[in-house]
Amino acid sequence: MNDTVWEEAGELAGWQTESEELTRSTALQQVTDQRRTQGKRYPVVLVLTDVLLAQAAGETTFQAIAEWMWLWGRWVQEALAGV
């Protein structure tokens, strides 16, 4: 995701200092998972991270993002396991 987006979000939110800004990871962890319990396989943070990485890789459609996640999702999950 573009850092400009985060800067603009900070301006809109009225943050006065950089210390008030959230890291992407912290922001994603604060997202409330509103999915039903049935069928949940992965934490919402992992799903959102996959979507952001797919978009950063140039995928723009739901189908392309889903294919990217199918191809690279396991690798992302393993890479983030230690984080």
Predicted model pTM? 0.62
Tell me, what amino acid is at 6? W
First and final C-alpha spacing in the chain: 19
Residues 23, 60 share a domain: no
DSSP one-letter code for 26: H
User: Is the confidence at residue 67, as pLDDT, over 90?
Assistant: yes
Beta strands in the chain (DSSP E): none
Residues 37 and 66 both lie in one domain: yes
What does the angle CA 30 – CA 62 – CA 56 come to, to the nearest 5 degrees?
A: 65
21 and 40 inside one domain: no
**Structure confidence at residue 70 (pLDDT):** 93
Structural domain of 17 = 1-30
pLDDT tens figures, 14-37: 666 555 556 777 788 888 888 888
